[in-house]
Structure formats: structure tokens, C-alpha cells
Structure 1
Amino acid sequence: MFRGNHPARVDEKGRLKIPADFKRRVDELYGPQFFITSKDGKRAELYPMKEWERIEDALAKAPSSAAKKKFLDVTNYYGQVVEMDAQGRLLIPQLLREAATLASDVAVLGMQTYLAVADDKKHKASLEENPLTDADMDALGAAGI
């Protein structure tokens, strides 16, 4: 389970060093291969290959639909298979790096089964513009959270 925010930096070559807490989890459970993609071009989503393959299995079983096609179009457009190097770095695909403006300071967020990487300033502004509301908490409460 990936949880929390571990601020990091994307270097001038577009590499992200996986924060130590997350890297330990990756080493324990997953190995070095990732599928890096996005659903909106605003943040990168780093899926350990094992987790991405679960999504692919579900997609393979799902009937053809406009939503399935859109999902595949966008995740394949931004997506690439990437291998973590010996220093624990992942190369964020250039197209996605540019779309999400992932340069310098980023927030690396644990999203349970994957990591989300967002420009730190933009992410903080988004949290301030769209705060968690009582209605959101009620909806989560209905789900037992």
C-alpha cells in the first residue's frame, strides 16, 4: 500500500528518484518495471507493472465501449513501460513530463496501488481551490470510510 506525500525532484533529464519509503515497498512487492501514464495529462501515474496488469486484465474482460476506448486512448497516448535504474530512478516520458509540467519540485503521492506525481505548486493550489467538503465526507461515509 502506497500512502502519504513524499516531496521529490524531477532532474534535468526527466528522472524521478523514487522516495525511500515508496522504493522499499516497490523492492519488497513489485520489482523494477513500471507503466507510467496519465488519465488527464495533469499528473503522472506510476503503476508497478503487476498493478497495471490487473487493470489490463479487467479491461480485457470488459465489453467494448466508448469509455473503454477513451481510457485506452489516453493511457496509451501518455503511457510507456519504464524500468527503474540502479539508483532507484524512473524516467518520466517526455510527452507526459511536458503536459503535466513535471520539472523540479513535485509531490509524489501514495494512491494505494500506484504513485501519482504532480507539480507541487499546482497540486497545492488545486487542493486549496477544491477542498474536501462535508458532502465529500458524507459520500465517503456512505461507503464506510
Structure 2
Amino acid sequence: MFRGLAKLNLDNKGRLVMPAKHRAALPSGSEGRVVVTLDRAGCLAMYPLPEWALVEAQFARVGMDPKVVALKRLVIGHAEELDIDGAGRVLLPPVLRDIAKLDKTVMLVGQGNKLEVWAETEWAAERDRTLTLPVSDWPADMNFVL
């Protein structure tokens, strides 16, 4: 389970050093690899291999609705299986870094089954937008207290 927030720097090659607590949280079936792809929120989503297999299985079960096909094209089409090297670094592909507007400083956000990689400014805007969202705009079935 991934939780928490980390402010990190990409090195000159575009590598992200995964914090030790997140490396330790990788399921045993991950084999030192993750899948990174686009997320509809404008960030990158980083999945351990077993979690990514569930995402692909969900897409395989859905029909051919044009919206689903378009989302599948973006999510699976941009997915890259990447190694975590001996120093705990993941090389984020340039095309994904560009789309997510990643520069030097990024935010790594735990989301339970995955991690999100945000550009620092984009994360601040998303955080502030969410914090100012009126309670009446939250889903009706969200019946737990934060």
C-alpha cells in the first residue's frame, strides 16, 4: 500500500529515486519493475506489476464504447514497463515527462495501489482545487469522514 507525499528531484537523465518506504511496499511479484503511464488527472501513474495486470484485465473486460476505447488507447498506449535500478531509480521516458510537464522537482503521491508523479506546480493547483471543492460537490455515496 502506497501512502504519503514526497517532494523529489529528477536527475539530469530524468530518473526518479523512489523513497525506500515505497520500494519496500512493492509487492513480491513486482520483480523490481513498475509500469508508468498517463493518468487522466495530468500526472503519471506508477503501478507495481501485479496491480498493472489488474488494470489491463479490467480494460480487457470492458466493451467497445468509443470513450472506453479512447481511454484504453491513452492508458495502455503510453504504458512503459520500467526497471528500478540498484540505487532505487526509475528512468521516466522523455515523452511521458513532457506530457505530464515534469521538470526538476516532482511530487510523488501515494494512492494505495499506485503512486502518482506530479509536476510540483500542477500538484499544488490540484491540491488547492480539491481543498476548495464545496462539500455539496462530493459524491453522495462518499459517506465517510476524513
TM-score range relative to shorter protein = 0.7 to 0.9
Are the equivalent residues in 1 in contact too, given 2:45–2:114 (CA < 8 A)?
yes
Which AA in structure 2 matches 1:73?
R
- Cα deviation code 1:41-77 (max 9, x no counterpart): 8211101111010011122122222122112211134
Which AA in structure 2 matches 1:102?
L
Query: Match for residue 63 of structure 2?
Result: 63
Which AA in structure 1 matches 2:81?
V
Shift of 1:14: 0.8
The answer for unaligned runs of 5 or more in structure 2 is none
Are the equivalent residues in 2 in contact too, given 1:11–1:103 (CA < 8 A)?
no
What is the CA RMSD across the aligned residues, in angstroms? 2.0
CA distance in 1, matches of 2:116, 2:103: 14
Runs of 4+ residues deviating >6 angstroms? none
Query: Match for residue 91 of structure 2?
Result: 91
Are the equivalent residues in 2 in contact too, given 1:47–1:114 (CA < 8 A)?
yes
Are the equivalent residues in 2 in contact too, given 1:47–1:115 (CA < 8 A)?
yes
- Cα deviation code 1:83-140 (max 9, x no counterpart): 1111111111110101212121111000111000001122113322442432245x36
Are the equivalent residues in 1 in contact too, given 2:9–2:106 (CA < 8 A)?
yes
CA distance in 1, matches of 2:115, 2:142: 23
In terms of fraction of residues, the more helix-rich structure is 1
Query: Match for residue 104 of structure 1?
Result: 104
The answer for unaligned runs of 5 or more in structure 1 is none
Query: Match for residue 49 of structure 1?
Result: 49
TM-score (norm: length of structure 1): 0.86
Identity of aligned residues (%): 24
Query: What is the count of residue pairs matched by the alignment?
Result: 143
